[in-house]
Structure 1
């Protein structure tokens, strides 16, 4: 079975989310406004986490309405009275990203709609479910906040197997270019392209090098 439509939608969604994340991060150095919150488990969540999830879940729901999405965030905290300003900031970033991506006009991305898109990521996955998406809107939030590496990770699971995978590394420097999108479809190989070219840019096949294994550990001591 071919998954070209799923791959195309996933690439476009993740590429748009990557642009949003980089705009948020660029604003961290120029703005004194609050860009991060602390969740119940004491881990940070940023405007970028919420905005990335809103964009990706919206596009998945519109193209594959029967597919649940299991994502990291939910909009519960953003519905609290004290988070109105944060929600407005998230909405503004989402509006801008969708307009730039020719997805919607700014009138479509209102605060209640953004909350709903974020909560599309609360998909109910049961043992009998054959197909669903899994999403980490910003993998490495602490790295994101300190100006280091982070990733946006999206995969389609069907019958227990990963069929499509998209991984964006907006801060990764390869071959003199910063920001790369890695994509894969089961049985068809993996590819890399520059984020600066958008989701429709030229792809380069990624090959596995035969190397001896080595031990690694997380940069974050808390992991």
Structure 2
């Protein structure tokens, strides 16, 4: 895939972007060619160049993840623990370095908000394997330790301060669902990248290497079909404001000899209109009994045969973005998460999922019905503070669930 780069402008448009208003000035004067077909005409997508670049880098990041995962279980030195006890792998830092390096070359004026910083990497003697992993996927003759560490820190907490005004920046979750990554196939994990322009999410790309595409999906139990899947699986999901949400098979990242279709398929949320018919997802760290709807419904896990006052609950997938992907693709109807005072809700765990669900016809709010505020922390754009929790639905049953939550006044 060839990139042709010319010079870029140092500045950025200060026009707040809304789809229904006249288009803002171009994000930059940089010209580059990405030989990639998007599922919609370029003239309909204001940020098609940014989306094309995001697709390319997320595909490369998925390849990096697959390669590192293959060696993960034969090299224990590449699995470590963060202070919050979340497993972190070389792939986690490698993806952030790869994405940061590529985007900084193409869009140097756009900051990056991402999960990791190099402090942990430096202190755990993991720089060498990260440099090797990134060097294999990037068009550079040689990468130094300093190149990779600086790239990681470009997305770190202290890289910049945006202030209180609407800002423009990339949001990256290098691996959402690192527990799933460490478990290996068939557990799901997602590489998630989105672009925010003057406070509004305008595009998003999610890559899920272990996802099995099954267009014949009918029931909740079929959603677990990835457990018996074969190499060559995986999808990439893209969304652009006003252009819908689409998926296609990832390139043959597991087996280069496998031929797969490169056709895009448009995604829509499911059309269930009753809460009792819906398929629910919840965080792996939470139980159904900890959520307000448990007062009204019991949960049956991965079972279509539900009775009165029961709902269908899909097995927990690692990470939040897998749940957004489930809702946006119509595999699930609802993802509900309860906010807890002791746990920060990070923007990168939700931003790309929000636009994918929205463009697929769904809805995302907090438990009071307000849109999620990406500028809640006002300076770093790293955390969000939803009232009560986050509710992601197909849109049809959103207000029904909000009313149920509101009726149980003690939960908010």
Q: TM above 0.5, one fold?
A: yes
Query: Per-residue displacement from partner, 1:27-50 (whole Å, max 9, x unpaired)?
Result: 124x13311222222222110100
Aligned pair 1:77/2:120, yes or no? yes
State the shift of 1:203 in Å: 1.8
Answer whether contact 1:75 1:115 (CA < 8 A) is retained.
Answer: yes
Q: Secondary structure at the match of 1:76?
A: helix
State the shift of 1:221 in Å: 5.0
User: How far apart, in 2, do the equivalents of 1:214 and 1:191 lie?
Assistant: 21
Match of 1:218 in 2: 283
User: How far apart, in 2, do the equivalents of 1:174 and 1:55 lie?
Assistant: 27
User: How far apart, in 1, do the equivalents of 2:197 and 2:207 lie?
Assistant: 21
Query: Per-residue displacement from partner, 1:119-156 (whole Å, max 9, x unpaired)?
Result: 11124332224211111000000011011110011110
Match of 2:88 in 1: 45
Match of 1:118 in 2: 152
Q: Report the structure, 1 or 2, having the larger strand content.
A: 1
Q: Secondary structure at the match of 1:190?
A: strand
User: How far apart, in 2, do the equivalents of 1:161 and 1:91 lie?
Assistant: 33
> For the pair shown, which has the larger CA radius of gyration, 1 or 2?
2
User: How far apart, in 2, do the equivalents of 1:55 and 1:130 lie?
Assistant: 23
User: How far apart, in 1, do the equivalents of 2:252 and 2:264 lie?
Assistant: 10
Q: 1:154 aligns with which of 164, 175, 193?
A: 193
Query: Per-residue displacement from partner, 1:187-209 (whole Å, max 9, x unpaired)?
Result: 011111111268xx432222232
Compared CA separation, residues 203 and 104, structure 1 to 2 (3 A): farther
Answer whether contact 2:61 2:99 (CA < 8 A) is retained.
Answer: yes
Pairwise mapping of residues 1-223 of structure 1 onto structure 2 (< 5 A)?
A: 1=23, 2-29=46-73, 31-80=74-123, 83-84=124-125, 86-98=126-138, 103-105=139-141, 107=142, 109-122=143-156, 123-124=159-160, 125-147=162-184, 148-175=187-214, 178-196=233-251, 201-212=262-273, 213-221=278-286
What is the TM-score of this pair, normalised by structure 1?
0.87
The runs of 5 or more residues in structure 1 that have no matched partner are none
Answer whether contact 1:58 1:120 (CA < 8 A) is retained.
Answer: no
Answer whether contact 2:176 2:191 (CA < 8 A) is retained.
Answer: yes
Q: Secondary structure at the match of 1:45?
A: strand
Q: Secondary structure at the match of 1:166?
A: strand
- Report which stretch shifted further, 88-97 or 114-123: 114-123
Q: Secondary structure at the match of 1:165?
A: strand
User: How far apart, in 2, do the equivalents of 1:68 and 1:174 lie?
Assistant: 34
Answer whether contact 1:13 1:56 (CA < 8 A) is retained.
Answer: yes
The runs of 5 or more residues in structure 2 that have no matched partner are 1-22, 24-45, 215-228, 254-261, 288-342, 344-412
- Report which stretch shifted further, 38-47 or 113-122: 38-47
Query: Per-residue displacement from partner, 1:142-190 (whole Å, max 9, x unpaired)?
Result: 0110111100111101132210100111100113751110001100111
State the shift of 1:216 in Å: 2.7
Q: Secondary structure at the match of 1:67?
A: coil
Compared CA separation, residues 25 and 51, structure 1 to 2 (3 A): same
Aligned residues: 211
Backbone CA RMSD of aligned residues: 2.0
Q: Secondary structure at the match of 1:174?
A: coil
Answer whether contact 1:73 1:118 (CA < 8 A) is retained.
Answer: yes
Match of 2:397 in 1: none
The answer to which structure, 1 or 2, has the higher relative contact order (CA under 8 A, 6+ apart) is 1
